[in-house]
A and B are shown apart, each in its own frame.
Chain A
Amino acid sequence: GNSVTQMEGPVTLSEEAFLTINCTYTATGYPSLFWYVQYPGEGLQLLLKATKADDKGSNKGFEATYRKETTSFHLEKGSVQVSDSAVYFCALSPNTGNQFYFGTGTSLTVIP
Chain B
Amino acid sequence: EADIYQTPRYLVIGTGKKITLECSQTMGHDKMYWYQQDPGMELHLIHYSYGVNSTEKGDLSSESTVSRIRTEHFPLTLESARPSHTSQYLCASSEAGDYSGNTIYFGEGSWLTVV
Contact = CB atoms under 8 A, between A and B. Distances in A.
Interface in A37-82: 41-46, 49, 51
B108 interface: yes
A22 interface: no
B4 to A, nearest CB: 8
A89 interface: yes
Given A43-B109, A45-B106, A95 B43 contact: no
Contacts of A24: none
A43 B42 contact: no
Contacts of B92: 43-44
Give the size range of B's interface with the partner: 20 to 34
Nearest to B44: A102
B106 to A, nearest CB: 4
B84 interface: no
Given A43-B109, A44-B90, A105 B42 contact: yes
B41 A105 contact: yes
B103 A42 contact: no
A70 B46 CA distance: 31
Contact of A89 (B43, B98, B99, B105): B43
Contact of A97 (B100, B108, B111): B100
Contacts of A96: 98, 100
Residue of A34, A36, A93 contacting most chain B CB atoms (<10 Å): A93
Given A49-B103, A89-B43, A95-B100, A42 B108 contact: yes
Interface of B: 2, 6, 33, 40-43, 90, 92, 94, 97-109, 111
26 contacts: A30-B100, A32-B101, A34-B103, A36-B106, A43-B6, A43-B90, A43-B92, A43-B108, A44-B90, A44-B92, A44-B106, A45-B106, A46-B103, A46-B105, A49-B101, A87-B40, A93-B100, A94-B100, A95-B99, A96-B100, A97-B97, A97-B100, A97-B101, A100-B94, A100-B104, A105-B43
Interface of A: 29-32, 34, 36, 41-46, 49, 51, 87, 89, 91, 93-98, 100, 102-105, 107
